[in-house]
Structures are given as C-alpha cells and as structure tokens.
Amino acid sequence: MRRALRYVIFYGLLFGLWALLAELRIWPPYLFPTPWGVGEALRAGFADHSFWIAIVVSMRRMLLGYGISVTLGVALGLGVASSKFLEETVGGLLVSLQSLPSICWWPLALLWFGLSQNAILFVIVMGSMLSVTLAMEDGRKQMPRIFGMAGRNLGAHGFKLFWYVLLPASLPFIVSGLKQGWAFAWRSLIGAEMLYLSLGLGQILMMGRDLNDMNAVIAVMILIVAIGYVTNGVVFRSVERRLQRKWGVAT
C-alpha cells in the first residue's frame, strides 16, 4: 500500500515536471513535446491500428527468434557442459562473444540473409542465445552440491541423475538466464527493426523521426519500454522469484 503510494507520488511528480517544462516552452514542441501531445499520438496510433499491427509483427518475430535462441542455447549449454575440454575452449569463446553488441551482427546478417526477416531473426538469436547458454553453465556451477549427492545417494545416476536432479536443481539459475535472454532479444529486435523498414515497433519509431513527429517518437518509446517491462519485469521476474523462494536460493 505504502509502496503503491510512493509509486503514484514519484510518477505524479515526474509527469508534473514534464508537463511544466513543456508548457514553459523553453524548447519548441517539435523537440520537447507535451504529455498531451504524446498521449494523443498514443491514442491515434492505437485508433488507426498501426500500433497494434507493429506490436503483433514485433512480438511474432520476438517469439520466433527467442524460441530459436532458447533451443540452440540450451543445446549449446548441454554440449559445453558435457566435457571439460569444450568448457574451457568453447565456453571461453562464448563469454568473449557475449561482449559483442548484437547489432554488430547486422552487417553480416545482411550479407548472409539479405534484407529480410531472417536477418532480423539472426540478430535476435545472436543477441540472446549466449545468455541462455551461459546461464545453464552458471546454474551447473552455482547449484548446491548437496542435491547431486542426495540424488546419487538415492540411486540416481547417469541420465536419470541429470533429468530428475541436476536439471531441476539448476532451474532457478536457468530461468534467470532465460529472462536475461529475453531482455537481450528484445533490444536486438528493436535495433534490427530500426535498420530494416518492415513494420514492427522499431520501424514506426524511425517513421516518427522521418516525419519529424516527436510526439510519435516518444509514444513508441513508451510503448517499447512498457512491453519490455511487462514481459521481463513482471512475467519473468515473478516466475524467477517464485522459483528462488521455493528452491531456497532467494536473497
């Protein structure tokens, strides 16, 4: 209750400050729009369905790209975990590749796939797959060792030990990786869409720029933040918290 109140006060003040600065007309409205102008742009965007279409197109790419990421990331994670040699060589390479911003894959993707949806998917996969792989690695290392011992003690070994004990034991860590992967995928998607005009949220953001429509630019930015926050901060975070509590690894 008090927390809700704090939120209301904070965002109320922020909004008030924005409205005040905009109404003082220190900067022209085409550079610093009013809240009402942005609100109108949001309404208009949803009313003429252009925002809905952009959301649907972006989310479809997102789910497809993220799905591929998770599949490949998990497979790669299992592969790397399977041998000490692979862990030291491939594992090290993956960590260093992780420092490459995903949009750096865009030129390569363009040459390989042409200006197409596949290029966007490729950038998403390169941006988020490694988070998933590294999270699996992390889960294996951070998982309390007692679970593996208890499992072996009760007669689990080989595949059964992996499937019934080690995998569930590392689930909270894996989910953290899936969450991070989603966040990276989201950024990669929007970045790639801004470079390739093909519907989607990134494109309507760039369209706002091209039309010099600052209201639309801010409106789309708010939309991107809102979707990112709801999927990552609400959906993934609550799953992650629940697992951590139940597994007893919550902080």
* Contact positions vs other proteins (CB under 8 A): 142, 146-147, 149-157, 160, 164-165, 168-169, 171, 245-249, 251
CB of 251 to other proteins, least distance (A): 5
Sign of the torsion angle spanned by Cα atoms 148, 154, 159, 160? negative
CB of 102 to other proteins, least distance (A): 24
CA separation for the pair 220, 212 (Å, rounded):
14
Following CA atoms 139, 62, 86, 142 in sequence, which dihedral angle do they give, to the nearest 10 degrees? Answer: -10
For residue 127, with 0-12 CB atoms within 10 Å meaning exposed, 13-18 middle and 19 or more buried, which class applies? Answer: buried
For residue 128, give the DSSP letter: H
CB of 20 to other proteins, least distance (A): 38
Per the CB < 8 A criterion, the answer to whether 111 and 122 are in contact is no
CB of 111 to other proteins, least distance (A): 39
Amino acid at 151: G
